[in-house]
Amino acid sequence: MRRIPLIGCALSAAVTLAACAVEAPDPVEPPPSAQGETTFTDFGSAVDEYWETADEFELPDGYSYPDPSFNDVSGSYQTGYGRGEAVRVWRCAWGTTYLTAFGEDPTTATEALEVFATIVDTDVFANSYDPASMQPVIRDAIERARLGDPSAMQSITDGGCPK
């Protein structure tokens, strides 16, 4: 019976020595998008960015850009934050226009959907919408809406737009 504890000790020692000999894996390189330098700006610059973007992205009739939703005048903002906020307002306005017109005014619904769909061509979509989670959701909502199913667009609008 003395052999079992000795065999156990020998096995334990061998495993321990083998574990010590294993090299640590090479560090994983961050994806190219994460390798870029993040820059920050002040409140005034973020607000300017918001309004410059608002001039670039036309809203549907009956909509206007509200004052920016961010208001920490002493805070710092990642460059692009104001632009992202303005594009969110634009996305919500066109999504809501599509949903309001769906089933009532096919021409307006189609036009609103096609304008909404151009979000995938924006720098905000490419740089700020997570490619593993948010980008597929937006793409799926557009495709489903084109096939006549507004439910995914409704979910995006309900979950990401002010009431």
Instruction: Write down the mean pLDDT value for the chain.
Output: 85
pLDDT at 14: 40
Neighbour count for residue 44 (Cβ, 10 Å): 11
pLDDT digits (tens, 9 = 90+) for 126-157: 999 999 999 999 999 999 999 999 999 999 99
pLDDT at 37: 76
The residue extents of the domains of the chain are 39-160
Identify whether the C-beta of residue 124 lies closer than 8 Å to the C-beta of residue 87: yes
Identify whether the C-beta of residue 87 lies closer than 8 Å to the C-beta of residue 119: yes
Helix residue ranges per DSSP H, 28-160: 32-35, 43-56, 81-101, 106-117, 123-128, 134-146, 151-160
Cα 131–Cα 132–Cα 138 angle in degrees, nearest 5: 65
pLDDT digits (tens, 9 = 90+) for 37-68: 789 999 999 999 999 999 999 999 999 999 99
Instruction: Report the candidate in 145, 86, 91 with the shortest Cα–Cα distance to residue 116.
Output: 91
With 0.85 as the threshold, say if the pTM is over it.
no
